[in-house]
Amino acid sequence: MRYFKDNGVYAESEVKRLVYPSSLPRDFKPEHVESKGFLPVTETEKPVCTDLQVVQNDGVKLINNVATQIWSVVAKFESQEEVDTYLAGIKEKEDLEISNQAKERLRELDIKSIRSIREYLSSKEDAPQYLKDFEIKATDERIKIISDTN
């Protein structure tokens, strides 16, 4: 299932992570994400085309307040070589997008692990003093945040 919000299309796993960043509630249902403004995408069949046409995924658009899959037929090709070149360009863009998404997920994991690593290292007797100082400053900042929220 895919969801649409603010002109973006999200996989179900992405939406669950956005709505419930720490953990999913046991009673999770798709309506929970819909209450946060995510609309389920209504899938439509790809149109048929000739051998020298390509069906292009134009994404999702809101039609009568329903997020709907949109397709178009690109009918400008005169040879199979042109079709293959066009499809190779689309594949390259998709690969780049997948790579960028993986890099973003890795960046998030790196950021989340920094605190744990710093705490672990600074707890060692032979830890460099600058790491111990960073941990003391971080602890002070967390105390400020906690006292500001109370």
Q: Quick count: other Cβ atoms within 10 Å of Cβ 47?
A: 11
Q: Quick count: other Cβ atoms within 10 Å of Cβ 122?
A: 19
CA distance 144 to 15: 32
* Reported confidence tier of residue 92, pLDDT bands at 50, 70, 90: very high
Per-residue pLDDT of 29-70, as tens digits, reads 767 777 788 888 998 899 988 889 999 888 899 888 889 999
Of 6-10, 27-31, 86-90, 119-123, the range with the lowest mean pLDDT is 27-31
What does the pLDDT average to over 97-106?
Answer: 90
DSSP bridge pairs for 3: 10, 40
The span from the first CA to the last CA of the chain, in angstroms, equals 40
Q: What's residue 30's pLDDT?
A: 66
> Is-contact 78 22, C-beta < 8 A?
no
* Reported confidence tier of residue 10, pLDDT bands at 50, 70, 90: confident
CA distance 9 to 101: 13
